[in-house]
Amino acid sequence: MENNLPTKRPPLIFWIFIIVLIIAVTLGGVYFYLLRTGKLANLFPKPTPIQNIWSPYKPSPRPLASGKQTYLVSGSKTGAPKATEVVIDPLDPAQNASQSATVKVISLDGTPVSEVEVNMITDNKEKTYPLKLISGTNLDGSWQGTWTLEDSYDYRYQAAIKAKNATSEWTVTLSFR
């Protein structure tokens, strides 16, 4: 007697699942084998680190006047002394060479000038130098100081002149670069 009952075959999705499962187990086994034996690292070697060869672009320094330079200053602050003229000698000293500044300062309100100083701002440093009264009076006189310029001034070069009296102060900054 023959059985004419239809046989139930597993659905197609079942076979696809079994095939995917076999492939996943096989690939996982190969992965762990290669990982354990160290052969996985040889298949995908680490790239050599990239050296940083980039550096910021620095343009050539702007040209600078040479020798002794005189600057006339305008503007003031109520109640504060005022610098009217600044002489930098030389403007372009060699590194570690001597430089001086002479500043004419007047008192606008009759209060004596008590202090004048120059803050030299260069590429890597800021340094303040006191000036001494060399001629005139502390109401209308010339103040001078000499120092050694120890830093380069290729990209940043300024002189901030500050004049003080008993009640106020005034600063003007000359930018050379």
Q: What is the pLDDT along the chain (177 residues), one digit of tens a residue?
A: 566 666 677 788 888 999 999 999 999 998 888 888 877 777 777 777 777 777 777 788 888 989 999 999 988 888 899 999 999 999 999 888 999 999 999 998 889 999 999 999 999 999 999 999 999 999 999 999 999 988 999 999 999 999 999 899 999 999 998
Cβ(104)–Cβ(116) under 8 Å? no
Q: How far apart are CA 160 and CA 121, in angstroms?
A: 8
Residue 7 in any domain: the answer is no
Q: Could you tell me if 20 and 78 lie in one domain?
A: no
- What pLDDT does residue 6 have? 64
- What pLDDT does residue 25 have? 95
Residue 56 in any domain: the answer is no
Q: Could you tell me if 20 and 96 lie in one domain?
A: no
Q: Could you tell me if 163 and 76 lie in one domain?
A: yes
Amino acid identity of residue 39, one-letter, is K
Q: Could you tell me if 90 and 164 lie in one domain?
A: yes
Residue 58 in any domain: the answer is no
The answer to pTM > 0.85 is no
Residue 91 in any domain: the answer is yes
Q: Could you tell me if 161 and 106 lie in one domain?
A: yes
Q: How far apart are CA 123 and CA 163, in angstroms?
A: 24
Q: Which domain holds residue 120?
A: 69-175
Q: How far apart are CA 143 and CA 118, in angstroms?
A: 10
Is the bond preceding 49 in cis, omega lying within 30 degrees of 0? Answer: no
Distance of CA 174 to the CA centre of its chain: 20
Q: How many domains does the chain have?
A: 2
Q: Could you tell me if 101 and 35 lie in one domain?
A: no
Q: Could you tell me if 125 and 170 lie in one domain?
A: yes
Residue 55 in any domain: the answer is no
